[in-house]
A and B are shown apart, each in its own frame.
Chain A
Amino acid sequence: MAHESSYVPGNVVEKWIDDRLPIIRWSKEHLMDYPTPKNLNYWWTFGAILAFMLGVQIVTGVILAMHYTPHVSLAFDSVEHIRRDVNGGRIIQAVHATGASMFFAAVYIHMFRGLYFGSYKAPREILWILGVLLFVLMVTTAFMGYVLPWGQMSFWAATVITNILGAIPVLGTPILELLRGGFAVDNATLNRFFSLHYLLPFIIAAVVALHIWALHVPGNSNPIGVEVKSSRETVPFHPYYTMKDLFAIIVFCIPFAWFVFFAPDILGHPDNYIMANSQVTPAHIVPEWYFLPFYAILRAIDFNILFIDSRLGGVIFFAGAILVLFFVPWLDTSKVRSGTFRPVFKWFYWLFVANFVMLAYLGAAAADGTVLGLPVATFSKLCTAYYFFYFLIVLPLLGRFETPRPLPTSITESVLAKHKAPAAAQPAAASTSH
């Protein structure tokens, strides 16, 4: 979506700057004039919400680091110190801790929006891959951050998750000891996790810049998935979408504020208010809610697969569940971008969403319990199977066998159809032009 810059320096100072570092020109082009499809719905506001959340986490995190002590004998108390003694620390700590949950809620909606509307399809593959990379970085950062309060859940999460790397054949143990800086999770581990937890958000910010760059080259996709055909189908980012995004951020902040002010601990686990003890594992350990689906997949593999033992198998599926996302642009063979026009896809998609929620539920259930009359172990295997079935079988085959509904020829046509004659469906010529 290349376009001529409309920026004209307003005065001699702006002119002077523009000749040396055209940062005002660049900002006007990318933050204000950037042409955006006029039919974006509220699912498209989550990118801005995520940028906002990254800012919130960095600001509150830098402040928390001023009061936190990364040492096994002091870390737990220093977090309590922040909550009880530091001026406003109760709120700042709660914003950071529940902020992680809100951040993940937003990123999951953002990703599921991409999966439904086919936002990963050409020419936006790199945009999608950078997004998956951001998700991986977020998961890593959140995991390390969760270790820092040094409660029982922190310690055992660190033990279990670092042990995942121990499953790698031959190199597993050396890598594990290198990562932990000892034979078990201990002070060395806590210190390096603190260091990396501080570093990674800035790496995330850098990848976000690339993500937005990759967005601004082809421009936004949109709910009907038909590319923008003329400048009449776009509006400038500012004020149209800056205001819409701002409104969405404010709405998003309502539940966020509720958690912070009224239930800062509701998403946490009571065991994390017991200081870490390397001699006792809590009776029932569960990760934070945003890791539960992947945790259920890890736990579902409790059998050997040929020469691969169950532990390595679990790790392969766990990693595979995230890595498969990198390949979605090529796994989905359908030429139609938006799920709105794919009648069969919709069924598989919503089943996939329900399946993902079910995996989260199973991840929280006791390993030997039952859910809906089925043993958790069996149910988890079924849900894990569907997770991979969707990406590896449904997406590649559906593109060949499904007959999509006719596409509108343009964004304008679809917008007018919606507003002028909602009853009259548009039997416009089927277009597969993109």
Chain B
Amino acid sequence: MATQSNLAHQDAPKPGRRDFLYIAAGAVGAVGVAGVTWPLINQLNPDASVLALASIEFDLSNIQEGESVTIKWRGLPVFVRHRTAAEIAEAKAVPMSELKDPATDEQRTKPGHEQWLIMIANCTHLGCIPVGQSGDYDGWACPCHGSQFDTAGRIRKGPAPTNLVLPPYEFVTDTLVQIG
């Protein structure tokens, strides 16, 4: 220990090599702890087997007009509804000003396939599955907290903040749809 540096330390405590070492060691330690902690948290995220089911194909030819089916995509239920002409007309007649989450019927379907409504079946409030063809708007009504959706799956009443979510999908042929 050089006496000179000790004296200097007493006069005015200015950052020296030792302080630098403390901070550097602390920083390296913190990075190390974070590096070890991350995999322990990341293991909670969806694993490879869950992600592997990300895309499915579905044949629509057996669904008659006015029928719906619920299929499973990434563990989530998905509504596939073959809408009637009356339902499509009803959905198109709604003025945008009446909608909490405005979207036209065209935005809710694919061009040329507007009879098909494909939506994730979980209510956008807290995830229950709404019951089809019920409620005041001839669409869906959620039994849990009373949200109601119209024939285009748009939110019309109740606590749900947004319309039923559309999954990414496209028509491979007129009767075959790929979701995901």
Contacts and interface: CB of A to CB of B under 8 A. Distances in A.
Contact of B128 (A156, A177, A311, A314): A156
Interface string A244-267: 000000000000000000000000
Contacts of A179: 44
Contacts of A301: 159
Interface residues of A, number: 39
A181 B44 CA distance: 5
Contact of A309 (B75, B143, B161): B161
B9 interface: no
Given A184-B76, A278-B77, A283-B143, A311 B127 contact: no
B interface SS class: loop
A177 B47 CA distance: 10
Contacts of B125: 163, 310-311
Given A159-B127, A183-B75, A281 B144 contact: yes
A182 B52 CA distance: 11
A279 B129 contact: yes
Interface string B36-49: 00000100111100
Contacts, number: 100
A296 to B, nearest CB: 11
B113 interface: no
B145 interface: yes
Interface string A291-319: 00000000101101000011110100000
A407 interface: no
Contacts of B130: 281
B47 to A, nearest CB: 7
A359 to B, nearest CB: 15
A163 B144 contact: no
Contacts of A178: 41, 44-45
Contacts of B160: 310-311
B170 to A, nearest CB: 20
Interface string A183-219: 1101010001000000000000000000000000000
Given A160-B126, A279-B70, A186 B75 contact: yes
B146 A368 contact: yes
Contact of B161 (A180, A186, A310, A377): A310
A164 interface: yes
B50 A186 contact: yes
Interface string A17-34: 000000000000000000
Contact of B75 (A163, A184, A299): A184
B166 to A, nearest CB: 15
Contacts of B122: 159, 184
B161 A281 contact: no
Contact of A159 (B72, B74, B126): B126
Contacts of A159: 122, 126-128
A333 B50 CA distance: 53
29 contacts: A156-B128, A156-B144, A159-B122, A159-B127, A159-B128, A160-B127, A160-B128, A160-B144, A162-B127, A164-B126, A178-B45, A184-B75, A184-B76, A184-B122, A188-B46, A192-B44, A278-B72, A281-B142, A281-B143, A281-B144, A302-B145, A302-B159, A309-B161, A309-B162, A310-B125, A310-B160, A311-B124, A311-B126, A367-B145
Given A163-B125, A302-B145, 6 more contacts: A156-B128, A162-B127, A166-B127, A177-B46, A281-B142, A311-B160
Interface of B: 41, 44-47, 50, 70, 72, 74-77, 100, 122, 124-131, 142-146, 158-162
